[in-house]
Amino acid sequence: MSERSKVQAVLQGRCPQCREGKLFKHGAYNLAKFTKINQECTSCGVKFEREPRFFDGAMYISYALSVGLFLVSAFIIYMFFHPVSENVYMLAIISEVILLYPIMFRTSRIIYLYAFGGLKFGGNKK
């Protein structure tokens, strides 16, 4: 059983049940393969895709994360660089979306699995 806290486990993309096994097979910036999720936990064997198309719901988390990112970026630009043209806001947001896409994609799936996967730390569901 892992000593990781829940927050550490989420940030490191670990299994909700044992906090050991990794959700994703490859690194976030392995651009050909960053979306590949392990079928089951390599440590405790729990199935990550709880039902068919389970991770489709993660798009709502992704949307919320993106809106949060946009608001924070707009606030920072406004506070430190005001006045600037609207194009600066657009350029900043578009670059963030592109550069952070793998991280947003993965984080939203991890959060979704933790929130709606029905898995408890220390449990033994398969």
Binding residues for Zn ion, rule: CB under 5 A, are 15, 17-18, 21, 41, 43-44
d(CA 99, CA 111): 20
Q: How far is the CB of 51 from Zn ion (least distance, A)?
A: 18
Q: Give just the sign of the alpha carbon dihedral 107, 17, 21, 25.
A: negative
Which CB atom, from 17 or from 62, has the smaller least distance to Zn ion?
17
**CB of residue 98 to Zn ion, shortest distance in Å:** 32
Name which of 41 and 61 has its Cβ closer to Zn ion: 41
Distance CA 13, CA 11 (A): 6
Q: How far is the CB of 85 from Zn ion (least distance, A)?
A: 49
Report d(CA 124, CA 126) in Å as an integer: 7
Residue 91 tokens, joined: 């350029």
Q: Report the residue number, 61 or 117, with the smaller CB distance to Zn ion.
A: 117
> Shortest Cβ distance from residue 110 to Zn ion (Å)?
13
Smallest CA-to-CA distance from 97 within 71, 66, 123 is with: 66
Our CB check for Zn ion shows the closer of 15 and 37 to be 15
